[in-house]
A and B are shown apart, each in its own frame.
Chain A
Amino acid sequence: MGATILIVDDSVSIRQSVRFILEQNGYTVIEAADGLEGLKRLAENKVQLVISDINMPNMDGLTMVKKVRETEGIKFLPILVLTTESQGSVVEEGKKAGATGWIVKPFNNEKLIETIKKVIP
């Protein structure tokens, strides 16, 4: 049984395509539509990695990253940001918030899996 990965994205299409690739590679996937729901899923499930979008309603991805970094038990959970944002200043903001890594959409399937394996070997 592979690791469990939480996908946080407000776009159903993105969640579907990421889920498809992850499941093909043996991972178990759970989903959330925004940061708030993401935190809820993290409280309910044992998750080894989070892949999160940034621009989402209710709670954006970077706020969620900061909250996770302040929460006992999940403080050190790896979080990969998967976003359309490629601007240096935004990437820097993500690093400061505590993201583990940054992947710009449209992503390449092989590179996504490679990155996941580097973060959770």
Chain B
Amino acid sequence: MILNAQFGKPERYIKPGEFYSSRDDVVISTLLGSCISVALFDASIPVGGLNHFMLPYPKGVEDSMLSSSAKYGVNAMELLINDLLKMGARKDRLRAKVFGGSAVIALNKAATYDIPEMNIRFVIEFLDTEGIPVDSFSVGGRLPRKVYFFPATSRVLMKYTRSESSALSRREDEYAHKLVEEASNAGRPIIFRKA
């Protein structure tokens, strides 16, 4: 953690694929392009966390919560949810704020799929299915977003940023490709004993 002088709090910056949650008076930040970040919190503890993820590019035409790419989104959400539950949160008290899904990648990639749109649809559907209310959101558009989440108060500060657009796009694209690789050699099951 480094001290953020502007807020006078320790800051934890998270990269694509990471998440972080805390019960302390810290700031969790990230820089988003096409990816999605969900700030999830149980204000009664208070505890909150932020993730940063995207769905892997689909192999074929897949358009549902049951698709294999959606499973990676479900997983990103579940990792954060489980972390919060371990810190005392209750699932039925969780609330969410949703950010990202801007057309940063789509700008330089003539993709068959609308990546940001797919990510946005996924996260809204997921939260709806799990019964987690969405308190606020800022999604879509063309500009990257800088997000600051304060888990102690459940507050989020968000600003659009123009500065790092091309580096961000490259970073997210690398992350998306890594995901496809991971998807094809996903965890080998272990069998402890014969039934």
How large, as a class, is the contact surface on chain B? 20 to 34
- B189 x A103 contact (CB < 8 A): yes
B129 touching A100 by the CB < 8 A rule?
Answer: no
Closest to B193 in A: A100
- Beta-carbon contacts under 8 Å, B116-134 to A: 126, 129-131
With a cutoff of 8 Å between Cβ atoms, the chain B residues found around residue A109 in the complex are: 68
Give the residues in chain A near B77, CB-CB below 8 Å: 13
Bound Cα distance from A20 to B66, whole angstroms: 7
Residue-wise interface mask of A (43-76) relative to B, using a CB-CB cutoff of 8 A (1 in contact, 0 not) = 0000000000001010000000000000000001
Contact with B along A104-117 (1 / 0, CB 8 A): 11111101101100
* A104 CA to B188 CA, complexed, in Å: 8
A13 → B minimal CB distance (Å): 5
- Chain A residues contacting B8 (CB-CB under 8 Å) are none
Would you call the interface of chain A mostly helix, strand, loop, or mixed?
mixed
Query: Which of these binds chain A: B83-91, B143-151, B157-165?
Result: B83-91
A20–B68 Cα gap in the complex (Å)?
11
Which DSSP category, helix, strand, loop or mixed, fits chain B's interface? Answer: helix
Closest to B192 in A: A95
**Distance of A4 from chain B, by nearest CB (Å):** 15
Asked if A40 is at the interface of the complex by the 8 Å CB criterion, the answer is no
- For residue B187, give the distance in angstroms from its CB to the closest CB of chain A: 4
CA distance A1 to B8 in the complex (A): 63
Bound complex: CA A120 to CA B191 (Å): 12
Contact check, A104 vs B129: say whether CB atoms are below 8 A apart. no
**1/0 contact trace for A82-102 toward B, CB 8 Å?**
001010000100110001111
CB atoms of B65 and A16 under 8 A apart: yes
Interface contacts beyond A103-B187, A103-B190, A108-B186: sample of 8 additional A-B pairs, CB < 8 Å, sorted by A: A12-B129, A13-B65, A16-B65, A16-B66, A84-B82, A101-B189, A102-B190, A111-B186
Q: 29 A-B residue contacts at CB 8 Å?
A: A12-B129, A12-B130, A13-B74, A13-B77, A13-B129, A14-B78, A16-B66, A16-B129, A17-B70, A55-B85, A57-B85, A76-B195, A80-B189, A91-B190, A95-B192, A100-B192, A100-B193, A100-B195, A103-B190, A104-B186, A104-B187, A106-B71, A106-B186, A107-B71, A111-B189, A112-B189, A115-B189, A119-B191, A120-B195
Please report B residues at the A interface, Cβ cutoff 8 Å.
Answer: 65-66, 68, 70-72, 74-75, 77-79, 81-82, 85-86, 90-91, 126, 129-131, 183, 186-193, 195
Please give me the 6 A-B residue pairs with the lowest Cβ-Cβ distance, nearest first: A104-B187, A78-B195, A101-B191, A106-B75, A115-B189, A108-B186
